[in-house]
C-alpha cells in the first residue's frame, strides 16, 4: 500500500469515527422507530390484538374513508394557510428588525419577537382560547367600540390564528438571519446602477433571502401539519385534523397499525412538501 493510500484510508476511518455518533443517533432515534412504524402499519388490529397480516389494508381503508380524506384535507388547508400567512407577516417584521430598528435595539427587538417561545405550547393555546372566547378579551374590546361579537372560538380561524402567532416568530428568526447576512454593498451597487427600491428588493434582496424564507416555511409546514395540541384546544373539536385522527386510533380504537399508517401518510405529506420546496429552489436558482 502506498503512503498516499494509507493516508486516505486513515482519513476515511477518521471520518467514519467522527460521523459515528450522528449516524448512531439517526439510527436509534429515526430509522429504527420509523422502520417499526412502517412495519406496524402493515399489520391489522383484530379482536384478539395485533395481527401481522403484512398487507396494505390500513392504507386502503384510509383511501376508502371520506372522513379520513377530509382530515388530511383539513390538515393541508390549515397548514398551507398558516405557512402563507406566517411568511407574509414575518418578512416585514424581520425586515423592520434588521433594517429599520437602530442596531443597539435589535437584540431587544429580537428578544421581544421570540418571547412567545418562552411559554409552553399548551399555555399559549389556552391563552388564545381566552382571548377569542365568546366573552373573551377580543370581543370585550369590540363591544367597547360598538362592534358586534366575532364568533371565532372553537373554529378553524382560531386554530389558524394560534398557529400563525407562533410560526410568525419562528419565520422571523430565519428570515432575519438571511437579511443580516446579505452584504449591504449589493443594494448600494443596484441603486448606483439605477434600480429603484422595488426592483432592488425583487432582483437582489428577495432571491438572496429566499433560502431563509424557504427553510422557515418548511419548518412551519412540518411542525404545523403534525401538531395535535392547537387544533384540539382552539379548534374545539370542530375541524378534525390528521394528528387528531391518529390520536383517535390510539385513544379510542387501540388501533396502533392504523395510527402507524396515518403517521406514514403524514410523513409522506411532509416529504412531498420538502421535495417540492427543494425542486422550486433549484428552479429559482
Minimum distance of another protein from residue 252's CB (angstroms)? 4
Q: Does 248 bind another protein (CB under 8 A)?
A: yes
Cβ-based nearer residue to another protein, 8 or 51: 51
Contact in structure between 184 and 257 (CB atoms under 8 Å): no
What letter would DSSP give residue 65? -
143 in contact with another protein (CB under 8 A): no
Interface map 102-141 toward another protein (x if CB under 8 A): -------------------------------xxx------
Question: Counting contacts by CB under 8 A, is residue 147 touching another protein?
Answer: no
Burial label for 138, CB within 10 Å (0-12, 13-18, 19+), is middle
Choice from 161, 245, 246, 273 touching another protein (CB under 8 A): 245
Would you state the cell numbers that stand for residue 193, as one nine-digit string? Answer: 446602477
Cα atoms in the Cβ-side hemisphere of radius 13 Å centred on 193: 11
Phi, psi of 21 (to 5 degrees): -60, -45
Q: Is 85 in the site for another protein (CB under 8 A)?
A: no
- Work out whether 256 is an interface residue with another protein (CB under 8 A): yes
Q: Which stretch binds another protein (CB under 8 A): 13-21, 146-154, 187-195, 274-282?
A: 146-154
Q: Cβ-count burial of 149 within 10 angstroms (0-12 exposed, 13-18 middle, 19+ buried)?
A: middle
Select 110 or 247, whichever has its Cβ closest to another protein. Answer: 247
In the beta sheet, which residues pair with residue 46? 49
Amino acid at each position: 500500500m502506498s503512503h498516499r493510500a494509507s493516508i486516505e484510508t486513515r482519513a476515511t476511518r477518521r471520518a467514519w469515527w467522527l460521523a459515528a455518533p450522528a449516524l448512531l443517533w439517526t439510527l436509534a432515534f429515526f430509522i429504527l422507530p420509523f422502520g417499526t412504524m412502517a412495519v406496524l402499519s402493515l399489520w391489522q388490529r383484530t379482536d384478539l390484538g395485533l395481527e401481522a397480516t403484512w398487507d396494505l389494508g390500513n392504507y386502503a381503508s384510509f383511501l376508502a374513508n371520506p372522513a379520513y380524506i377530509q382530515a388530511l384535507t383539513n390538515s393541508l388547508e390549515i397548514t398551507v394557510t398558516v405557512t402563507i400567512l406566517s411568511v407574509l407577516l414575518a418578512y416585514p417584521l424581520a425586515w423592520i428588525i434588521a433594517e429599520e430598528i437602530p442596531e443597539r435595539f435589535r437584540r431587544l427587538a429580537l428578544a421581544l419577537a421570540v418571547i412567545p417561545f418562552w411559554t409552553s405550547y399548551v399555555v399559549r393555546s389556552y391563552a388564545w382560547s381566552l382571548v377569542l372566547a365568546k366573552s373573551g378579551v377580543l370581543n370585550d374590546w369590540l363591544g367597547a367600540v360598538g362592534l358586534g361579537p366575532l364568533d371565532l372560538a372553537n373554529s378553524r380561524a382560531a386554530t389558524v390564528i394560534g398557529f400563525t402567532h407562533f410560526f410568525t416568530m419562528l419565520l422571523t428568526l430565519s428570515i432575519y438571519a438571511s437579511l443580516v447576512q446579505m452584504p449591504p454593498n449589493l443594494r448600494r451597487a443596484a441603486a448606483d446602477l439605477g434600480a429603484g427600491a422595488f426592483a432592488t428588493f425583487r432582483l437582489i434582496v428577495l432571491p438572496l433571502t429566499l433560502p431563509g424564507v424557504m427553510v422557515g416555511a418548511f419548518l412551519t409546514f412540518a411542525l404545523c401539519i403534525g401538531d395535535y395540541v392547537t387544533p384540539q384546544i382552539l379548534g374545539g373539536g370542530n375541524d378534525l385534523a390528521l394528528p387528531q385522527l391518529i390520536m383517535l386510533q390510539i385513544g379510542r380504537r387501540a388501533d396502533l397499525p392504523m395510527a402507524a399508517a396515518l403517521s406514514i401518510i403524514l410523513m409522506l405529506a411532509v416529504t412531498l412538501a420538502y421535495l417540492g420546496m427543494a425542486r422550486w429552489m433549484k428552479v429559482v436558482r
